[in-house]
Amino acid sequence: MSKADIAAERKDQIVRATVECITKYGYHNFSMQDVAKVAGVSKGIIHYYFLNKDDLMMSVLDRVAGDIERVILSDMNKIEEPAKKLEIFIGVVFDVVRNTREYYQVNMDFWTQINQKDEVKKAIAKHYAKFRETASKVIADGITKGVFKKVEPNEYASFIIAVIDGISLQFLFDSSAVNYDKTTKNATDLMIQGLNKA
């Protein structure tokens, strides 16, 4: 294994440990010592790879969003039909909340920082832009193929993400308040029906 591979693996190990610590203690309440303990490394090793806690946190944010983006693209690339592609996009994002709640919780913890840290606000905006772009391309493709009615793709993509976030937040705050399977299925159907030509 090369030095670059070892460094990448070590950084990934530290980032994963940080996600675990944020999930357990919250954004403000974990320490670098907590991360070191979970990762099985010294604090010095963490500081070797990351300048400070903020640098580590930005890597965590990139990891969380990047993981979701990779799953979406991997699942969508196998499908040609725009409506099915959009259904997969929506389904994957909804599944992230249910199956990997810690990722969504970490993301929510980052939201609390957007008024204090401009770089966090920009990073979150960048990741939302990527999600919007992915959905927007599918919508534009559906319009071009005559499957979807004419809408502004970026606006409709924003609507889709807003619906997903709204339902997901309700589920995270009180899972008994929402029948997640039924609600996400109904929401997905309604969002896709809203695009279908009459």
164 or 175: whose pLDDT is higher? 164
According to DSSP, the residues that pair with 190 across neighbouring strands are: none
Do residues 110 and 120 touch, judged by C-beta distance below 8 A?
yes
Do residues 46 and 32 touch, judged by C-beta distance below 8 A?
yes
Give the pLDDT score at 8.
84
Residues of the chain with pLDDT > 90: what percent? 39
Superfamily, domain 54-193:
Tetracycline Repressor, domain 2 (1.10.357.10)
Secondary structure (DSSP) of 104-137: HHHHHHHHTTTTT-HHHHHHHHHHHHHHHHHHHH
Output the pTM of the full model: 0.79
Using pLDDT thresholds of 50, 70 and 90, give the confidence band for residue 103: low
Exposure class string for 31-65: b at 16+ Cβ within 10 A, else e: ebebbbebbebeeeebeebbeeeeebbbbbbebbb
Question: Quick check: 79 pLDDT over 80?
Answer: yes
Using pLDDT thresholds of 50, 70 and 90, give the confidence band for residue 100: low
Q: Residues 159-179: what's their mean pLDDT? A: 89
The tokens describing 179, both together, are 């029948």
Number of Cα atoms under 13 Å in the Cβ half of residue 8: 6
**Domain limits, the chain:** 1-50, 54-193
What is the topology classification, in CATH, of domain 1-50? Arc Repressor Mutant, subunit A (1.10.10)
